[in-house]
A and B are shown apart, each in its own frame.
Chain A
Amino acid sequence: MKARLTIEVNQKRHTVEVDPATPLLYVLRNNLQLNGPKYGCGLEQCGACMVLLDGKATPSCLLPVETSIGKAIVTLEGLTQPGGKLHPVQRAFVEQQAAQCGYCLNGMVISAVSLLTEQKHPDETAIRKGMERVLCRCGTQSRILRAIRQAANESNP
Chain B
Amino acid sequence: MNEPTTTPALSRRDFLKTAGCLSIGFSFACHPLSAAPQPPLQDSLPGPLRQQPQINAWLEVLENGRVRVLTGKLELGQGIRTAIAQVAAEELDMDSNHVEVHLAETGRTPHEGYTAGSGSIENSAMSVRYAAAAARQKLLALAAQRWNKPVEQLRLADGKIEGGKDQLTFAQLLNGTQLTDEVRLPVTLKPKSEYRWVGKAVPRADIEKMVRAEPVYVQDLRLPGMVHARVVRPLAYGARLRSFDEAALKKAVPGILKTVINGNFVGIITTEEYEAVQAQLMAREQTKWETTKPLPDNQNLAEFIKKLPSKSRTVKETGDVKTLESSGGSSLKARYFKPYHMHGSIGPSCAVALYQDGKLHIWTHSQGVYPLQEAVKKMLNLPTEAVHVVGVPGSGCYGHNGADDVAADAALLAMAYPGKPVRLQWSRDDEHGWEPYGSAMQMEAEARLDASGKITHWRYDVWTDSHSTRPGGEPGNLLAARSIEKPFSQPSSGYSGGGYRNSEPYYAIPNLKVDAHFFEGPLRVSALRSLGAYGNVFAIESFMDELAEKAGKDPLEFRLRHLEDERAIAVVKKLQELTRSEKGKPGEGIGYAFSRYKNVATYCAVAARVLADPKTSKVQVLKMWSVIDAGEVINLDGVKNQTEGGMIQAASWTLKEEVQFDKQHVSSRDWSSYPIFRFSDVPETEVVVINRPDEKPLGAGEAAQGPTAAALVNAIYRACGQRIRHLPVRLDRRE
A and B: partners? yes
Question: In A122-151, which residues have CB < 8 Å from any B CB?
Answer: 127-129, 131-143, 145
Q: Does A57 contact B (CB under 8 A)?
A: no
Residues on the B chain within 8 Å of A127, using CB: 679
Given the contacts A128-B679, A139-B649, A106 and B396 also touching, CB distance less than 8 Å: no
- A93 nearest CB neighbor, chain B only: B211
By a CB distance below 8 angstroms, the chain B residues around A138 are: 77, 396, 645, 649
Residue B348 CB within 8 A of the other chain: yes
Residue A53 lies at the interface, judged by CB distance under 8 Å to chain B: no
**Contact between B220 and A35 (Cβ–Cβ < 8 Å)?**
yes
Q: Are A41 and B428 in contact (CB under 8 A)?
A: yes
Complex CA gap A43/B673 in Å reads: 12
- Among residues of A, the one whose C-beta sits closest to the C-beta of B216 is A102
Query: B676 contacts which chain A residues (CB < 8 A)?
Result: 135, 137
Whether the pair A80, B212 counts as a contact (CB closer than 8 A) is yes
**Which of B11-19, B270-278, B311-319, B500-508 lies at the interface with chain A?**
B270-278
Contact status B213-A26, CB under 8 Å: no
B residues less than 8 Å from A139 (CB atoms): 644-649, 652, 677, 682
CB <8 Å contact, A41 and B671: yes
Contacts of B637 in A (CB 8 A): 97
Task: For A135, list chain B residues within 8 Å (CB).
Answer: 346, 671, 676, 678
A100: nearest chain-B partner, CB-CB: B77
Q: Does B34 contact A (CB under 8 A)?
A: no
What 0/1 pattern do residues 37 to 48 of A give for CB contact below 8 A with B? 011111101101
A-binding segment of B55-63, B122-130, B200-208, B725-733: B200-208
Partner among A42, A103, A132 whose Cβ is within 8 Å of the Cβ of B679: A132
For A80, list chain B residues within 8 Å (CB): 212
Given contacts A101-B76, A102-B77, contact A40 B679 (CB under 8 A): no
Closest chain B CB from A138 CB (angstroms):
5
A143 to B214, CA, bound (A): 21
CA distance in complex: A77, B210 (Å): 10
Q: Point out the residue from B344, B427, B684 that lies within 8 Å of A137, measured CB to CB.
A: B344
> Do B671 and A90 have beta carbons less than 8 Å apart?
no
Known contacts A48-B346, A101-B77, A106 near B213 by CB under 8 Å: yes
CB B440 to nearest CB in A, in angstroms, measures: 20
A72 part of interface (Cβ distance < 8 Å): no
> Whole-angstrom distance from the CB of B686 to the nearest CB of chain A?
9
For residue A19, CB closer than 8 A to chain B, the reply is yes
Determine whether A36 belongs to the interface, using a CB cutoff of 8 Å to chain B: yes
Residue of B210, B277, B427, B670 near A99 (CB, 8 A) is B210
Q: Does B395 contact A (CB under 8 A)?
A: yes
Known: A35-B214, A80-B212, A106-B213. A101 touches B220 (CB 8 A): no
Also in contact, A140 and B641, with CB within 8 A (given A48-B347, A132-B679):
yes
| Contact in complex: B210, A102 (CB < 8 Å) | yes
Please tell me if the beta carbons of B671 and A137 are within 8 angstroms of each other in the complex. no
Of the residues A19, A35, A46, A93, contact of B213 by C-beta under 8 Å = A35
Contact A77 B213 (CB under 8 A): yes
* Contact across chains for A142 and B211 when beta carbons are under 8 A apart: no
Evaluate whether A39 and B211 lie within 8 angstroms (CB atoms) in the complex, with A100-B642, A101-B77, A137-B649 already known: no
Name the contact of A141 in the complex, choosing from B203, B395, B648 (C-beta under 8 A): B648
* A102 lies within 8 A of B273 (CB): no
Interface 1/0 per residue, A1-45 and B, CB below 8 Å: 000000000000000001101110010011001111011111101
Q: Which of A30, A76, A138 has the most CB of B within 10 A?
A: A138
Main secondary structure of the interface of A (DSSP, over half): loop
Residues in A neighbouring B427, C-beta threshold 8 A: 42
A40 in contact with B644 (CB, 8 Å) = no
Alpha-carbon distance A109/B76, docked complex (angstroms): 20
- Give the residue of A97, A109, A136 whose beta carbon is less than 8 angstroms from that of B641: A97
Tell me which of A75, A101, A104, A136 has the highest count of chain B C-beta atoms within 10 A of its own C-beta.
A101
CA distance A126 to B416 in the complex (A): 52
Interface: A105 (CB within 8 A): yes
Identity of the chain A residue whose Cβ is nearest the Cβ of B704 in the assembled complex: A139
Please name all residues of chain A whose beta carbon is closer than 8 Å to the beta carbon of B346 when the two chains form the complex: 40, 46, 48, 101, 103-104, 135-137
Q: Within 8 Å CB of B274, what residues of A? A: 18-19, 21-23, 26
Cα A103 to Cα B365 with chains together (Å): 13
Closest chain A residue to B76, Cβ basis = A101
Which chain B residues lie closer than 8 Å to A69 at the CB level?
none
B118 on the A face (CB < 8 A): no
B213 touches A131 (CB 8 A): no
A48 to chain B, nearest CB (A): 6
Residue A86 is within 8 A (CB to CB) of chain B in the complex = yes
Q: Are A100 and B272 in contact (CB under 8 A)?
A: no
Contact between A142 and B648 (Cβ–Cβ < 8 Å)?
yes
A106 to B646, CA, bound (A): 21
**B259 at interface, CB cutoff 8 A:** no
Q: Is the CB of B679 within 8 A of A137?
A: no
The reply on B680 being an interface residue by CB < 8 A is yes
With a cutoff of 8 Å between Cβ atoms, the chain B residues found around residue A102 in the complex are 77, 206-207, 210, 216
Q: Are B213 and A34 in contact (CB under 8 A)?
A: yes
**Residue B587 CB within 8 A of the other chain:** no
Contacts of A18 in B (CB 8 A): 272, 274
- Mask for B240-251, Cβ within 8 A of A = 1, else 0? 000000000000
Q: Flag if A38 contacts B679 (CB, 8 Å).
A: no
B78 within 8 A of A: yes
Q: A35 and B671 in contact (CB under 8 A), knowing A94-B207, A132-B680?
A: no
Question: In the bound complex, how far is the Cα of B218 from the Cα of A39, in angstroms?
Answer: 12
B620 to chain A, nearest CB (A): 12
Let me know if A141 and B649 touch, CB within 8 A: no
Which residue of the partner chain, among B210, B222, B396, B646, contacts A33 with CB atoms under 8 Å? B222
- 8 Å CB interface, B668-697 against A: 670-672, 676-680, 682-685
A26 touching B345 by the CB < 8 A rule?
A: no
Inter-chain contacts of A41 with B (CB < 8 A): 348, 428, 670-671
Instruction: For residue A34, give the distance in angstroms from its CB to the closest CB of chain B.
Output: 7
Q: Take A94-B207, A101-B77, A101-B393 as given contacts and tell me if A137 and B212 are in contact as well, using a CB distance cutoff of 8 Å.
A: no
Q: Which residues of B contact A143 (CB under 8 A)?
A: 641, 644
Asked if B265 is an interface residue, CB under 8 A from chain A, the answer is no
- Roughly how many angstroms separate A143 CA and B272 CA in the complex, as a whole number? 37
With CB as the reference atom, state the residue of chain B lying closest to A65. B274
Binding site for A on B (CB under 8 A): 76-79, 203-204, 206-208, 210-217, 219-220, 222, 272-274, 277, 343-348, 393-396, 398, 425, 427-428, 637, 641-642, 644-649, 652, 670-672, 676-680, 682-685
Listed from nearest, the 4 A-B pairs whose CB atoms lie closest are A101-B77, A139-B648, A101-B396, A139-B645
Given contacts A99-B207, A135-B678, 9 further A-B contacts (CB under 8 A): A18-B274, A23-B274, A48-B347, A93-B207, A94-B208, A99-B211, A100-B642, A135-B671, A139-B646
Where the two chains meet, the residues of A that have a C-beta atom closer than 8 Å to any C-beta of B are 18-19, 21-23, 26, 29-30, 33-36, 38-43, 45-46, 48, 75-77, 80, 86, 90, 93-94, 97-106, 109, 127-129, 131-143, 145
